[in-house]
């Protein structure tokens, strides 16, 4: 069952009924000012940091769900009937409803009783404000008197404090309202230590306003039945403490067929510390007023929206493909790329599942996000790399998380997730391959515990961090956890409520991770290529030797016979072995060891992949572990705390699936790789939305596994490393368009049913027009298979660049600005 459809031309997902299984959300803003918005206008906004600069309030885990939003009410002043044109919060049945989630904007349209409305929400590029453009049309044969009310509820900046510290916060709230009532300023704590305020402005003369929540709602009433709306008149209330809100009341007289437009702005502004006031206690508006005046003009709104579309369109222009599969095209051309950008921006901070309070920027998460977004925004990728490296310690270790506003590491979580530093190598490698900008390697970057080194030095220390921490089998010690946050082999927790990851209570000298071993070999080889490329062959050789040695250790101590082991626990017992009663096979080391080149070409990799297919694959994707844990194992940690089939305990943890897709592609198995891709591709799951339940246009972190009662149900959509890795798997390995240090490689591993595909890729200033086709006539002389990344022969039998055949599959560089044609013939 579907709740909408893709509009490919307009790059929108169109939701055609408001009661989706869960709120289907979108993101507004791409930079400093951002927010989430649901298909019924729920959500909230923040400036730079979803916890510390929260503009509006949202009620997580509320009933009904998705409360707090960018609310609009319409009221027929002749009858007193009122409704929300976005369905929530009034939830009156509408005659028509449609939500279009586009790239960083959302438009919700509806009609009731001959009054139609459209609300467009977006953040103009580079601005610290969001625009709500409301259009109301009278489709009745007679004139209509309609009242429109706007509504936001301000959060008192620190979202955590806002949700808990009521003894203080019920007394601190302050607002200012301009003489005409059109601009409402939220200035809680502005008088003393803050030099920022929020504002909510309206383009039309107002009949009234409210800034005190209870005056607007009325006693004991909810957002669905505000008193001001019911009676058709605002209270002109000024908040003193309690809960400041912003609401405007605009009266619209509409002739038959007439449309009126009202623009609302919700914005954030700062003043210099010594220039905050124009009179005692009064906000100095000299800086913000021109901004408000500008954006309240409908022509400016039009131009701002066009500018937004130009920016997003340009970003997506980095790669556009035309394959035989519509769901692949949708994801690669629009939605997966967009999700990569959003995930890069937001890390894991705000979504329907991330409250904006919890985790700042995750070190490993942000490093992996780079893999999917570097081609879309290389400049910001560069900044991010520096921020991340600056949270490293001189040991090479890293803070597991940092706050985006302060860019300092989060002491409460600390360090000791032993995979963390290695991801930085992958992130930087992706940046270098995409941009060729080797200057970044020579930049000095501080360590968070003092001292500094070049970025190149940071990467060396990242790798050394693993080598300095090897266990009894010569395999990397796991620390508190590796990629799998829930495999806590040194944190034995028996106290309710305690964090599984930070309760590190064992010496940590025994538990080893085969996953980290795979990641290390991959990172060491990537680094060796970089070192070689910048004229440091000795470094290259030494890390290659370390990768070889690690490979040997994995084959000797990390291979269970049919698959890679997962780990050794604190007692030295194997985890992820046929010898275990539960948790026999884990996905992570299968994908990652093969990506690191371990066992490729000698049958080990193909055997591991066959085991994945036999033991872990379901129609809804590949599960993380089988059989899942049915009991709590204190020596394994959080993984065994989840009910079987959920989260790390045997769900289809989508982040890991692309590793297997890549491994299959490396083994030359185009059908298997693409088959796995389609199983979790959200667009390909659209028709089973009643099962999948999350948005069909973005990946979710997990899909319940075969052991769950709700097998196939997705959760934790949007902010997940799944976005970046699936983008890498489909674009770089299946379609095979892979940036490398020496140029753009085109080495597809396609499903056998595909005759080919075409693509346009912007890479280092050059536009590559790529056409891949299968050599049709069997009589055609068999070309020499090109040398490939791994040890299997490539599908490619010939590459022709601007009419000239080339050797191998790496297209040589061309002058920036050039457009070159690349024809690729495959077997």
Q: Which residues are catalytic?
A: 485
Q: How far is the CB of 578 from ligand GLC (least distance, A)?
A: 24
Cα–Cα distance between 821 and 771 in angstroms, integer?
8
Cα–Cα distance between 206 and 495 in angstroms, integer?
57
Contact with ligand GLC (CB under 6 A) among 237, 513, 720, 731: 720
**Residue 26 in the binding site for ligand GLC (CB under 6 A):** no
Nearest by Cα to 334 from 674, 738, 772, 727: 727
Nearest by Cα to 608 from 667, 673, 655, 549: 667
φ/ψ (deg, to 5) at 469: -130, 65
User: How wide is the angle at C-alpha 787 spanned by C-alphas 781 and 792, nearest 5°?
Assistant: 95
| DSSP assignments along 262-287, one per residue | EEEEEEEEE--GGG-EEETTEE--TT
Q: How far is the CB of 334 from ligand GLC (least distance, A)?
A: 23
| C-beta of 301 vs 481, nearer to ligand GLC | 481
Contacts of 780 (CB under 8 A, 6+ apart): none
Q: Is residue 211 within 8 Å of residue 247, measured between CB atoms?
A: yes
Contact with ligand GLC (CB under 6 A) among 101, 348, 469, 685: 348
Q: Is residue 138 within 8 Å of residue 115, measured between CB atoms?
A: yes
Number of residue whose CB is nearest ligand GLC: 485
| C-beta of 575 vs 811, nearer to ligand GLC | 575
Q: How far is the CB of 348 from ligand GLC (least distance, A)?
A: 5
**Residue 352 in the binding site for ligand GLC (CB under 6 A):** no
Within 10 angstroms of residue 360's Cβ, the number of other Cβ atoms is 27
Contacts of 561 (CB under 8 A, 6+ apart): 578
Give the CA diameter of the chain.
88
Three-state DSSP class for residue 291: helix
Q: How far is the CB of 616 from ligand GLC (least distance, A)?
A: 16
Which residues is 768 bridged to in the sheet?
761, 820
Q: How far is the CB of 365 from ligand GLC (least distance, A)?
A: 5
Q: How far is the CB of 407 from ligand GLC (least distance, A)?
A: 19
455-467 helix and 514-533 helix, angle to the nearest 10 degrees: 150
DSSP 586: E
Stretch that binds ligand GLC, among 42-50, 284-292, 481-489, 598-606 (CB under 6 A): 481-489
Contact with ligand GLC (CB under 6 A) among 84, 188, 701, 726: 701
| C-beta of 54 vs 655, nearer to ligand GLC | 655
**Residue 504 in the binding site for ligand GLC (CB under 6 A):** no
Contact with ligand GLC (CB under 6 A) among 486, 528, 540, 616: 486
| C-beta of 477 vs 702, nearer to ligand GLC | 702
How far is the CA of 564 from the CAs of 548, 578, 667, in angstroms?
A: 17, 10, 16
**Residue 354 in the binding site for ligand GLC (CB under 6 A):** no
| C-beta of 210 vs 648, nearer to ligand GLC | 648
Site for ligand GLC in 611-650 (CB under 6 A): 638, 647-648
Q: How far is the CB of 637 from ligand GLC (least distance, A)?
A: 9
Q: How far is the CB of 550 from ligand GLC (least distance, A)?
A: 21
| End-to-end alpha carbon distance in the chain | 38
Cα–Cα distance between 14 and 783 in angstroms, integer?
47
Cα–Cα distance between 18 and 821 in angstroms, integer?
46
Q: Is residue 82 within 8 Å of residue 68, measured between CB atoms?
A: no
Nearest by Cα to 822 from 417, 545, 812: 812
Phi-psi region of 242 (alpha: psi -120 to 50; beta: other; left: phi over 0): left
| C-beta of 522 vs 770, nearer to ligand GLC | 522
The residue written with tokens 């409520």 in the block is 497
Contact with ligand GLC (CB under 6 A) among 110, 484, 584, 795: 484
Contact pattern for ligand GLC over residues 358 through 397, marking x by CB under 6 A: ----x-xx--------------------------------
| C-beta of 333 vs 701, nearer to ligand GLC | 701
User: How wide is the angle at C-alpha 454 spanned by C-alphas 452 and 458, nearest 5°?
Assistant: 80
Q: How far is the CB of 392 from ligand GLC (least distance, A)?
A: 17
Contact pattern for ligand GLC over residues 745 through 784, marking x by CB under 6 A: ----------------------------------------
Q: How far is the CB of 780 from ligand GLC (least distance, A)?
A: 46
Site for ligand GLC in 32-91 (CB under 6 A): none
φ/ψ (deg, to 5) at 254: -120, 120
Size of the residue set binding ligand GLC (CB under 6 A):
15
* Tokens read off for 610: 């066959």
| C-beta of 243 vs 392, nearer to ligand GLC | 392
**Residue 351 in the binding site for ligand GLC (CB under 6 A):** no
Q: Is residue 540 within 8 Å of residue 532, measured between CB atoms?
A: yes
Nearest by Cα to 559 from 503, 604, 600: 604
Q: How far is the CB of 353 from ligand GLC (least distance, A)?
A: 10
Cα–Cα distance between 766 and 375 in angstroms, integer?
13
Stretch that binds ligand GLC, among 9-17, 140-148, 243-251, 477-485 (CB under 6 A): 477-485
How far is the CA of 465 from the CAs of 485, 627, 650, 739, in angstroms?
A: 19, 33, 30, 27
33-38 and 810-811 strand pairing: unpaired
| C-beta of 448 vs 701, nearer to ligand GLC | 701
Which residues is 622 bridged to in the sheet?
617
Q: How far is the CB of 358 from ligand GLC (least distance, A)?
A: 8
Provide the CB-side half-sphere exposure for 333 (13 A, CA).
Answer: 21
Nearest by Cα to 575 from 514, 638, 650: 514
Q: How far is the CB of 721 from ligand GLC (least distance, A)?
A: 6
**Residue 692 in the binding site for ligand GLC (CB under 6 A):** no
Cα–Cα distance between 30 and 208 in angstroms, integer?
33
Alpha carbon of residue 354 to chain centroid: 11
| C-beta of 487 vs 796, nearer to ligand GLC | 487
Q: Binding residues for ligand GLC, per CB under 6 A?
A: 348, 362, 364-365, 483-486, 638, 647-648, 655, 701, 720-721
């Amino acid at each position: 069952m579907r709740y909408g459809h893709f509009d490919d031309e307009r790059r929108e997902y169109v939701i055609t009924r408001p009661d989706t299984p869960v709120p289907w959300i979108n993101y507004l803003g791409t930079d400093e000012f951002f927010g989430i918005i649901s298909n019924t206008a729920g959500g909230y906004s923040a400036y730079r940091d979803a916890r510390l600069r929260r503009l509006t309030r949202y009620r997580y885990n509320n009933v009904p769900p998705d409360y707090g939003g960018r609310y609009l009410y319409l009221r027929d002043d002749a009858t007193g009937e009122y409704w929300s044109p976005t369905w929530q919060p009034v939830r009156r049945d509408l005659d028509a409803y449609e939500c279009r989630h586009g790239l960083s904007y959302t438009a919700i349209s509806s009609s009731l009783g001959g009054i139609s409305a459209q609300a467009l929400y977006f953040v103009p590029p580079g601005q610290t404000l969001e625009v709500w453009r409301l259009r109301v049309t009278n489709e009745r044969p007679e004139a209509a008197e309609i009242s429109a009310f706007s509504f936001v509820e301000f959060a008192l900046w620190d979202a955590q404090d806002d949700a808990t510290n009521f003894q203080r916060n019920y007394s601190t709230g302050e607002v200012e309202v301009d003489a005409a009532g059109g601009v409402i300023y939220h200035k809680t704590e502005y008088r003393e230590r803050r030099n920022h305020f929020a504002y909510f402005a309206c383009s039309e003369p107002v009949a009234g306003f409210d800034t005190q929540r209870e005056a607007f709602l009325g006693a004991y009433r909810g957002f669905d039945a505000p008193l001001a709306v019911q009676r058709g008149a605002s209270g002109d209330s000024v908040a003193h403490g309690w809960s400041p809100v912003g609401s405007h009341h605009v009266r619209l007289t509409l002739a038959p067929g007439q449309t009126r437009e009202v623009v609302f702005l919700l914005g954030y502004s700062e003043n210099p510390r010594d220039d905050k006031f124009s009179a005692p206690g009064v906000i100095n508006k000299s800086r913000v007023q021109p901004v408000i005046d500008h954006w309240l003009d409908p022509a400016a709104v039009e131009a701002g929206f066009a500018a937004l579309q130009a920016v997003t369109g340009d970003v997506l222009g980095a790669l556009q493909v035309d394959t035989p599969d519509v769901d692949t095209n949708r994801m690669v051309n629009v939605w997966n790329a967009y999700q990569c950008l959003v995930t890069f921006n937001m890390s894991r901070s705000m979504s329907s599942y991330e409250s904006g309070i919890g985790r700042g920027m995750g070190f490993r998460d942000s490093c992996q996000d780079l893999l999917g977004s570097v081609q879309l925004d290389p400049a910001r990728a560069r900044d991010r790399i520096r921020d991340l490296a600056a949270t490293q310690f001189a040991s090479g270790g890293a803070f597991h998380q940092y706050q985006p506003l302060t860019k300092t590491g989060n002491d409460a979580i600390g360090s000791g997730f032993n995979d963390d530093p290695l991801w930085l190598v992958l992130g930087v490698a992706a940046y270098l391959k995409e941009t060729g900008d080797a200057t970044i390697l020579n930049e000095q970057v501080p360590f968070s515990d003092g001292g500094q080194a070049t970025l190149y030095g940071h990467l060396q220390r990242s790798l050394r961090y693993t080598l300095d921490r090897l266990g009894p089998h010569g395999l990397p010690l796991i620390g508190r956890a590796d990629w799998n946050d829930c495999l806590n082999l040194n944190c034995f927790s028996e106290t309710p409520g305690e964090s599984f990851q930070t309760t590190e209570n064992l010496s940590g000298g025994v538990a080893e991770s085969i996953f980290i071993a795979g990641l290390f070999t991959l990172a060491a080889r990537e680094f060796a290529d970089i070192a070689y490329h910048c004229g440091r062959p000795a470094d290259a050789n030494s890390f290659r030797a370390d990768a070889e040695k690690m490979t040997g250790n994995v084959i000797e101590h990390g291979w269970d016979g049919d698959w890679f082991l997962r780990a050794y626990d604190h007692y030295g017992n194997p985890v992820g072995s046929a010898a275990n009663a539960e948790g026999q096979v884990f996905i992570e080391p299968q994908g990652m060891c093969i990506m690191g080149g371990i066992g490729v070409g000698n049958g080990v990799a193909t055997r591991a992949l066959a085991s994945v297919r036999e033991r872990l694959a379901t129609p809804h994707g590949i599960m993380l572990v089988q059989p899942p844990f049915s009991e709590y194992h204190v020596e394994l940690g959080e993984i065994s705390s989840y009910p079987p089939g959920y989260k790390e305990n045997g769900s289809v943890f989508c982040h890991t699936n692309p590793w297997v897709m890549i491994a299959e592609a490396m083994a030359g198995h185009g059908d298997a790789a693409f088959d796995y891709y389609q199983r979790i591709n959200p667009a390909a799951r659209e028709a089973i939305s009643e099962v999948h339940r999350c948005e069909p246009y973005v990946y979710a972190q997990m899909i319940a596994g075969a052991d769950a009662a709700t097998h196939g149900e997705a959760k934790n959509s949007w902010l997940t490393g799944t976005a970046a890795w699936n983008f890498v798997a489909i674009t770089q390995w299946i379609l095979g368009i892979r940036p490398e240090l020496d140029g753009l490689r085109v080495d597809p591993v396609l499903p056998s049913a595909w005759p080919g595909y075409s693509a346009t890729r912007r890479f280092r200033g050059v536009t590559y027009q790529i056409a891949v086709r299968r050599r049709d006539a069997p009589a055609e002389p068999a070309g020499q298979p090109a040398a490939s990344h791994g040890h299997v022969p490539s599908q490619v039998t010939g590459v022709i660049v601007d009419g000239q055949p080339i050797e191998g599959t790496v297209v040589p560089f061309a002058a920036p600005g050039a457009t070159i044609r690349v024809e690729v013939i495959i077997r």
